Structure 1
Amino acid sequence: MDVPMRSTLLFSTLLVLLIHGGHSFYLPGVAPQDFDKGDLLMVKVNKLTSIKTQLPYSYYSLPYCRPNSIVDSAENLGEVLRGDRIENSPFVFNMREPQMCNIVCRKILDAESAREFKEKIDDEYRVNMILDNLPLVMPIRRGDQDTTLVYQLGYYVGLKGKYAGTNEEKYFIHNHLAFTVKFHRDQLTQTARIVGFEVEPFSVKHDYEGEFSEKTRLTSCDPHARRLVTSSNNPQEVEDKQEIIFTYDVSFEESEVKWASRWDAYLLTSDDQIHWFSIVNSLMIVLFLSGMVAMIMLRTLYRDISKYNELETLEEAQEETGWKLVHGDVFRPPANSDLLCVYAGTGVQCFGMMVVTMMFAVLGFLSPSNRGGLMTAMLFLWVFMGIFAGYASARLYKMFKGTEWKRIALRTAFLFPGTIAVVFFILNALIWGEKSSGAVPFTTMFALIFLWFGISVPLVFVGSYVGSRKHAIDDPVKTNKIPRQIPEQAWYMNPVFSILIGGILPFGAVFIELFFILTSIWLHQFYYIFGFLFIVLMILIVTCAEITIVLCYFQLCSEDYLWWWRSYLTSGSSALYLFLYAAFYFFTKLEITKPVSGMLYFGYMLIASYVFFVLTGTIGFYACFWFTRLIYSSVKID
């Protein structure tokens, strides 16, 4: 394909995505697959997941039926980091040809196999499968009178309960699967496209006569019935030396849903109305507060600047008050200025990654059908944004009269990612110790290290070199040689108090959306409302900037010129509230009981809070930096 044609195709695709809101689409190169009657449909198995342990396992880690040879599907970086292990399975269908009472295999459990099944049933593990890139879902009704269906990803390995009037709890396995494949038929070609993949699991103790073989007729089911099993009065128990026969039946159902819209049913949940109302409510409140803050600040600053510039007599000029009084110290380099440069540069890197990722997500390029696409995109964007991190840190470092730009570049390239890497390696060791498929393999670890050392670090040095060659940023006013003494501050201007107060409003802008994000990650639900997430990100940026500017103005009016670090920590303190909210979510919404799973949760949320701190802190710092330069360049300084 030549360049003009490719550009035209990309432009038209972007236009379609914008019109349809990123839901009903397919990307270039991701064409739908047409099936004729009788074509083979290969079901793939994915990981076993549990919201109680948060530790994924491979499907074949349990003694399920296996095909003759297990073939792993090619996976991207994001899928590997998420613990996805996509493999072939013995479940093979023929398009639009129902199959009833199909025997997959027979297993005789030993003590070890029975124990493994019982452990997974105790931890409420679900089996995940894929057909034509669609995940297997189990439709569930909210109530008897409710017609709304909610789709649960996968089906439970089994269940635990009392049976036959006994008080002893027993374990039962779901060994019979009733699949439903929904398809949309093309009226012209009569080919079909798969638009749904559903299952209803049952626990059935199968009976048969004579010796068992693959062609044995099971007396516990009627293969000529429309639906093999509707209920089971004799469920399959999980015990040592128990015989388990795994079976399935598949039916095909024609649907009016088109291929381009097949994900819509999975992405629309019953909580949509609450979600929309909450987001709009939060948006209105934050915009109202931001508008009030902006109005007060503009009016106050206009009056101050006008008053300072209208001073005529020498006596009046000598009677400086408020924020103008500290003009000789306001641009004095702060303590630990090198560290501030590093964190400011890293924040620019995170900011660029977040904004570009959200833009791609809103346009629909990071759809759920592209498994691992979101995480892969964020990793690569973060790596390539290293050039902006190096440039920003070097520019700020040169403004502070620094000369060793290589040292700043080195710290920018290693401090933040090195901290994340240490925590990640510790968590990965815990996962590896649990023999979970979520543990990152050695080859992937090597790829991550290559991305860091081979691409990110050189780009940081390139950006630092370019930034160090630029002309230093000039201060709008001269800095006195002797620092001015800071007067005693009021209790409400205490640094700790003002920093903690400053983080409340940015956190308030995102905490409602944060609930849905945490639910998506830790309760294994779909999240695809990136349009709202992008709006919330914009609100977060505005809120961080405005609250930092307001508190910085009050600080300067109190003749406290140590604003550099405080501006960073003011908006960055919202990360503390994020971590506290994550702890609240853990104890109120999750049922994690294993210590390792709890450590994984708080470890990953600590990483997320650290990234959030760097992101929001940088936004507040640069807003305050722009604000102070603006006001001190707008007044006459003798």
Structure 2
Amino acid sequence: MGKTGEILVLFLFLFLVLVFAPSQAFYLPGVAPRDFQKGDELQVKVNKLSSTKTQLPYDYYFLEYCKPSKIMNNAENLGEVLRGDRIENSIYAFKMRRDESCKVGCRTKLTQEAAKNFKEKIDDEYRVNMILDNLPVAVPRQRRDGSQAPTYDHGFRVGYKKDDKYYINNHLSFKVMYHKDPETEDARIVGFEVIPSSIKHEFSEWDDKNPKVSTCNPNTKIIPGSHTPQEVAADTYVVFSYDVSFQPSEIKWASRWDTYLLMNDDQIHWFSIINSLMIVLFLSGMVAMIMMRTLYKDIANYNQLDNQDEAQEETGWKLVHGDVFRPPVNYGLLCVYVGTGVQFFGMTLVTMIFALLGFLSPSNRGGLMTAMVLLWVFMGLFAGYASSRLYRMFKGTEWKKITLKTAFLFPGIVFAVFFVLNALIWGEKSSGAVPFGTMFALVLLWFGISVPLVFAGSYFGFKKPAIEDPVKTNKIPRQVPEQAWYMQPAFSILIGGILPFGAVFIELFFILTSIWLNQFYYIFGFLFLVFIILLITCAEITIVLCYFQLCSEDYNWWWRAYLTAGSSALYLFAYAVFYFFTKLEITKVVSGIFYFGYMLIASYSFFVLTGTIGFYACFWFVRKIYSSVKID
């Protein structure tokens, strides 16, 4: 228990450093800081339209908004494309530190189709996302608890509905915060806010080159709610306008994301960590009791019996020493899943390390997903090595077939589900549909890099000498005695998954909220500690149940070890169902399929990860105890 306690103290110290260290140290910017002088051009870029009710993003220009003379797409990275981001230029342009009271953008006539699209997006509570100097636009709002601390909504609403009439937010009041260098005239942008409003602009004659609108001119100060709102209707002209104000700020450039990020309740995170630590301490106590008392006592008794003529009176786990290393049914498939789990574990661990170092902070848009995909591809080397090493231990000979399954089984299932979901999203004309070029790039990464690396790892793994068992396996398998009801495979497997899920379920709430409610997830210090706790929990619960199983003279532990920890994925999916019905307001069938499809992929991945952790823990434990006793 002493060593376990020391490890827990070490992780707790690491956690405190990661959580409370200054943001500048761990949230390295996704882009280099830019210095602007007074009068420099600032170009607002537009991103997708997003909704938590449908989960289907759309291109900004899907609606009849003002278009620049030439629409130019930003070169998005792989993660941005997979997230549905579509970053383009817009008509909104400012001069640094020069306020403008009211500026007309354009006039557009709503067709029947355009009016219908606006109404649908207002019904589904779509929000418009914009970007200035890599900062997302935010709408300030009052906290529910009445606190004066600033809090924001991400993006502004397309419009609103009142008395069965639809109104469009066609006027935007931008506020740009900047931090000025005290020694020079240079300044850096540290905040980007907007207050949307609906105004029915009035004009007599329209001139595209020099529009004259009586409700909007350089001397007009627009006050939200003081004008007649602009209704959405077919064959109606809508004038889009905006104003901008610049405000100096004490916030430094390195801390400009803090306002966006510090919206979650850290007390709940603390509760999550304490809850998880209690589970780990409880399990650690059980494992320590088994290892230090029961096992040592067992080993001492067994070794003492070998010195007498009472060896034939063996009972408990030593009795099955001749069968405990017998290859299980479908051991090839087990090798495939273990190899895939090693690949997933390597990807998760390295991704979290990068996130802790700040390379995958929210300012690096799409970086997290890009890193996960690329790391998955390159971790194929370890997947092939792990699966072939285990297969060689089982004295298997068809290593190429196992390698093919390792390279194609898990990615193939995930890609098939992903392809079906993408086809459904494409049918909805959503920007969340992955383009053909990106789909081709993903297949190229899979077949061109991942598969060869799996084969390379498998080749080197199979060339190494086979892992020797600490005891010999009998030629004739021993009959397993009838087990008590609580030691039946189905029951013990389902029980085993509860504690690993219990260690992470509170943090899971924050992860699901960041994914499905368009919130930023940034507390990677908490996440890393929860990940370590998950590893320890999976290992310890599998060892405890494996020991009870062997004491019941049931030697079929290989698959059960994998499934015991892996069954936590069932609880994860059940929680996803609970979250869907209690926290989300999804009504569309396609959106529901989209949600459950991706949560099915997430649960399957969690099964592979936790199952592999449990398997290796049990594998080490069984080899350790059977190498500690004398066997005739």
**1:403-482 map, 5 Å:** 403-482=397-476
**Which residue, out of 271, 290, 306, partners 1:297?**
290
For normalisation by structure 1, the TM-score amounts to: 0.94
* Alpha-carbon distance change, 384 to 524 in structure 1, aligned in 2, over 3 angstroms: same
**Which residue, out of 168, 177, 180, partners 1:185?**
180
* Alpha-carbon distance change, 404 to 155 in structure 1, aligned in 2, over 3 angstroms: same
Distance of 1:76 and 1:187 partners within structure 2: 36
Q: Which residue of 2 aligns with 1:520?
A: 514
**1:96-495 map, 5 Å:** 96-143=97-144, 145-162=146-163, 169-221=164-216, 223-224=218-219, 227-269=221-263, 271-298=264-291, 299-311=293-305, 313-495=307-489
Q: Which residue of 1 aligns with 2:8?
A: none
CA contact (8 A) 1:18 1:363 kept: no
CA contact (8 A) 1:51 1:592 kept: yes
Q: Which residue of 2 aligns with 1:165?
A: none
The answer to whether 1:85 aligns with 2:79 is: no
CA contact (8 A) 1:182 1:194 kept: yes
Question: Residue 156 of structure 1 aligns to which amino acid in structure 2?
Answer: R
Question: Residue 45 of structure 1 aligns to which amino acid in structure 2?
Answer: V
CA contact (8 A) 1:503 1:574 kept: yes
Question: Residue 316 of structure 2 aligns to which amino acid in structure 1?
Answer: G
- What do residues 217-261 of structure 1 show as CA deviations (whole Å, max 9, x unaligned)? 433346435x42232341110011112110000000100000011
- Larger displacement relative to structure 2 (205-214 or 435-444): 205-214
For normalisation by structure 2, the TM-score amounts to: 0.95
Distance of 2:27 and 2:280 partners within structure 1: 35
Q: Which residue of 1 aligns with 2:10?
A: none
Question: Residue 330 of structure 1 aligns to which amino acid in structure 2?
Answer: V
Q: Which residue of 1 aligns with 2:43?
A: 42
Distance of 1:455 and 1:312 partners within structure 2: 54
1:557, CA displacement in angstroms?
Answer: 0.1
1:275, CA displacement in angstroms?
Answer: 2.7
Distance of 1:506 and 1:499 partners within structure 2: 12
- Larger displacement relative to structure 2 (624-633 or 105-114): 105-114
- What do residues 37-81 of structure 1 show as CA deviations (whole Å, max 9, x unaligned)? 000000000000000110010000111000010000111101111
Distance of 2:448 and 2:415 partners within structure 1: 16
1:210, CA displacement in angstroms?
Answer: 4.3
Secondary structure in 2 matching 1:315: coil
1:19, CA displacement in angstroms?
Answer: 9.3
Distance of 1:335 and 1:29 partners within structure 2: 49
CA contact (8 A) 2:203 2:213 kept: yes
* Alpha-carbon distance change, 564 to 437 in structure 1, aligned in 2, over 3 angstroms: same
1:290, CA displacement in angstroms?
Answer: 2.5
- Larger displacement relative to structure 2 (504-513 or 206-215): 206-215
Gaps of 5+ in 2: 1-16
1:283, CA displacement in angstroms?
Answer: 3.1
Q: Which residue of 2 aligns with 1:3?
A: none
Q: How many positions carry a matched residue from both structures?
A: 615
Secondary structure in 1 matching 2:520: coil
Question: Residue 279 of structure 1 aligns to which amino acid in structure 2?
Answer: S
CA contact (8 A) 2:29 2:254 kept: no
1:294, CA displacement in angstroms?
Answer: 2.3
- Larger displacement relative to structure 2 (591-600 or 275-284): 275-284
Q: Percent identity?
A: 68
Q: Which residue of 1 aligns with 2:3?
A: none
**1:11-90 map, 5 Å:** 20=21, 23=24, 27=28, 30-90=31-91
Question: Residue 278 of structure 2 aligns to which amino acid in structure 1?
Answer: I
CA contact (8 A) 2:30 2:361 kept: no
Q: Which residue of 2 aligns with 1:625?
A: 619
CA contact (8 A) 1:202 1:232 kept: no
CA contact (8 A) 2:79 2:366 kept: yes
Gaps of 5+ in 1: 1-15, 163-168
* Alpha-carbon distance change, 442 to 211 in structure 1, aligned in 2, over 3 angstroms: closer
1:25, CA displacement in angstroms?
Answer: 6.1
Distance of 1:29 and 1:232 partners within structure 2: 40
CA contact (8 A) 1:23 1:264 kept: no
Secondary structure in 2 matching 1:102: strand
**Which residue, out of 564, 569, 572, partners 1:570?**
564
The answer to whether 1:614 aligns with 2:608 is: yes
CA contact (8 A) 1:53 1:593 kept: yes
Secondary structure in 1 matching 2:310: helix
